Structure 1
Amino acid sequence: MTDPREAAARYRAQQHGADEEEGGTPPGIAAAVDRAAFIETAIQVAIRRGDFDDLPGAGKPLEGLGTHHDPDWWIRRKIETENLTGLGPPAILLRSEDKGLDAELDLLGREADVRTVLEDFNRRVYEARRQLQGGPPVVTSPRDIDAEVAAWSARRSARVAAASAEEPAPPARRRFGIRRRD
């Protein structure tokens, strides 16, 4: 029985016009077959020696596999492990931005700024829905600007009330250096 790699090399050689009677396989293909055979032999020798025994994670399931099939799992994992920002399909970027949008809005001090940020976010959601480049579907919904401004205002007033309740009244000031003569 012949080795499948050798058969594949002979087939490629015939496709490239090299005849076995004229001198064998072309040098590039022969080198690739030799390299593949060397690597496979080295792996088999390492397995017999036990170099792959007791590796960390042996016999354990792969971490990060969910219960549902996600074709973009590798993109999401790469973005998370590398802490990359601004990279990836618009659908994934909008999902992650949607999660942290309330915290970003809470940092703003004016209602006009909140409205501007929300209008920009909604514009990008609509653009991502209209794109024809493929990628994961856009499931992020646009935000209702008036409702979000009302929620921002309520969170802001609650923070101000909590901050004023925590701060004790300043002590009465005594003026030094001024003497009264009665």
Structure 2
Amino acid sequence: MTERKPSGERFESWVDRQIREAIERGEFDDLPGLGKPIPDIDRPYDEMWWVRRKLQREGVSALPPALALRKEAERAMAEAMRADSEDEVRRIVADLNDQIRALMRRPLPGPPLTLLPYDVDEAVRRWREERRPR
């Protein structure tokens, strides 16, 4: 829509005409989300919605490092329990332990880190226990 509103024509009727002509040309056909509900339409208004959505899309955490690592630890341990092999369990727990040790070496903003490295052999024992036929 590059056309300018003609002088003397009411703005509302000019806009309505532009929309009607675009509909007639089929420019609104096959738009993404056509026929689907608008996401979060029932949520209360939040003027920072676009910032939150951008952070979520980019995978940026607004949590302090200690809390973000605690959340990551829960995810990693659940992943370890679903692993297909002992080697995979050991790798997942070792990677998590590396992250914990790295965070332990530096001062953190926010709450203190209360996580200690996990016992890899204990994780493997729990993994075996969950796999054992009952």
Residue ranges of structure 2 left out of the alignment (5+ in a row): 1-51
| Other-structure match for 2:78 | 103
Aligned in 2, Cα 1:86/1:108: closer, same or farther, shift over 3 Å?
farther
Larger C-alpha radius of gyration, 1 or 2?
Answer: 1
**Local SS of the residue matching 1:99:** helix
Q: Aligned-pair distance for 1:122?
A: 0.7
- 1:143 paired with 2:126, answer no
1:115 and 1:149 in contact (8 A); partners too: yes
Pairwise CA RMSD: 2.9
| Other-structure match for 1:113 | 88
Aligned in 2, Cα 1:84/1:135: closer, same or farther, shift over 3 Å?
farther
2:83 and 2:89 in contact (8 A); partners too: yes
Describe the superposition over 1:88-137 as per-residue Cα deviations: whole angstroms up to 9, x where unpaired: 33211111122333321122111111111111111111111111353321
> What is the count of residue pairs matched by the alignment?
82
Residue ranges of structure 1 left out of the alignment (5+ in a row): 1-77, 163-182
Describe the superposition over 1:47-74 as per-residue Cα deviations: whole angstroms up to 9, x where unpaired: xxxxxxxxxxxxxxxxxxxxxxxxxxxx
Aligned in 2, Cα 1:85/1:136: closer, same or farther, shift over 3 Å?
farther
| Other-structure match for 1:90 | 65
Aligned in 2, Cα 1:123/1:94: closer, same or farther, shift over 3 Å?
same
**Local SS of the residue matching 1:100:** helix
Q: Choose between structure 1 and 2 for higher RCO, CA contacts under 8 A separated by at least 6 residues.
A: 2
TM-score if structure 2 supplies the norm length? Answer: 0.50
Q: Give me the identity figure in percent.
A: 29
TM-score if structure 1 supplies the norm length? Answer: 0.38
Aligned in 2, Cα 1:103/1:83: closer, same or farther, shift over 3 Å?
farther
Whole-Å separation in 2 of the counterparts to 1:84 and 1:155: 35
**Local SS of the residue matching 2:129:** helix
Whole-Å separation in 1 of the counterparts to 2:114 and 2:57: 22
